[in-house]
Amino acid sequence: MQIRFQNSPKETSQMNTQQLRENFLIENLMVAGTIQLTYSHYDRMIVGGAVPTTRPIVLPLEEELKAKYFLERREMGIINVGGKGTVTADGVDFTIDKLGCVYLGKGTKDVSFSSSDAKAPAIFYLLSAPAHKTYANRKMTKEEAQPVNMGDAVTSNKRTIYKYIHNDGIESCQLVMGLTTLAEGSVWNSVPPHTHTRRMEAYFYFDLDAAHRVMHFMGEPQETRHIVIANNEAVLSAPWSMHFGVGTANYGFIWGMAGENKEFTDMDQKAVAELK
């Protein structure tokens, strides 16, 4: 498991391209037959990816957690962006299709991931945050997430939002998680730009053709930076940093947060015309 420490706004403003990528971008997240994990000191979020093929993948106990098992003091959200797959938690199977979600509460001991078809494997994106209370393990389909259509083709941000783990959805301690898919011809996400110093966020970009990229913007409103991101890569967003982006083609992205509260609308918006 990789470890990422925090970076201040001043420190980040002086980073070059490689330093930005080393501190905030998570590459090689989806590797067939493996589970990849990155521990961020922003609200102690763990970002992971599991791609089971011919055999199940077991969620490991990482030494850095100093725990008896991975979810002893943690909760986890899982969204599948690949073929049909199953999350098995303490002997209970949760089978989900693409864009289905599974939530696992604090105290879940044995977790594994498997694919229904090794030739079209599930691609599980994982987010885990510390938890103080146990909530029930649960799955939710994309239809049950009550998708909401937003944006407009005129501003190139016509999109559908799916909310899974939030105050009015799957219960959790502090984890908030969902995804957004952009319509063909739309490329902008999370506009107007915003920050929320009460919680960190991570973005995971998927369904982006290999020939295309997303330009993910970060930094303070008056000191912006960008990271060029490929398909199935994730990026960490510090609580003080903006997070929005534009792709060279349409795509989907999973958003997930942890911190002081779970209010989806808790954000401090910044006018595009004021950015520098």
| Secondary structure of 236-266 in HEC code, one letter for each residue | EECCCCCCEEEECCCCEEEEEEEECCCCCCC
Do residues 107 and 136 touch, judged by C-beta distance below 8 A? no
- Assigned token pair, 167: 């105050």
Mean pLDDT of 86-101: 98
Lowest mean pLDDT among 163-167, 231-235, 265-269: 265-269
Q: Comparing C-alpha atoms, which of 255, 247, 259 is closest to residue 215? A: 247
Q: Mean pLDDT in the chain?
A: 96
What Cα–Cα distance (Å) separates residue 90 from each residue in 10, 57, 115? 45, 14, 18
Domain map (residue ranges) of the chain: 2-274
Rounded to an integer, what distance in angstroms lies between the CA atom of residue 120 and that of residue 84? Answer: 8
Note the pLDDT tens digit of each residue in 72-92: 999 999 999 999 999 999 999
Residue 147: is it exposed, middle or buried by C-beta count within 10 angstroms (0-12/13-18/19+)?
A: middle
Mean pLDDT of 12-33: 97
Fold exhibited by the domain 2-274: Jelly Rolls (2.60.120)
Model-level pTM?
0.96
Rounded to an integer, what distance in angstroms lies between the CA atom of residue 185 and that of residue 188? Answer: 10
Percent residues over pLDDT 90 in the chain: 95
Q: Comparing C-alpha atoms, which of 25, 27, 28, 49 is closest to residue 37? A: 49
Does residue 264 surpass a pLDDT of 90?
no
pLDDT the model gives residue 146: 86
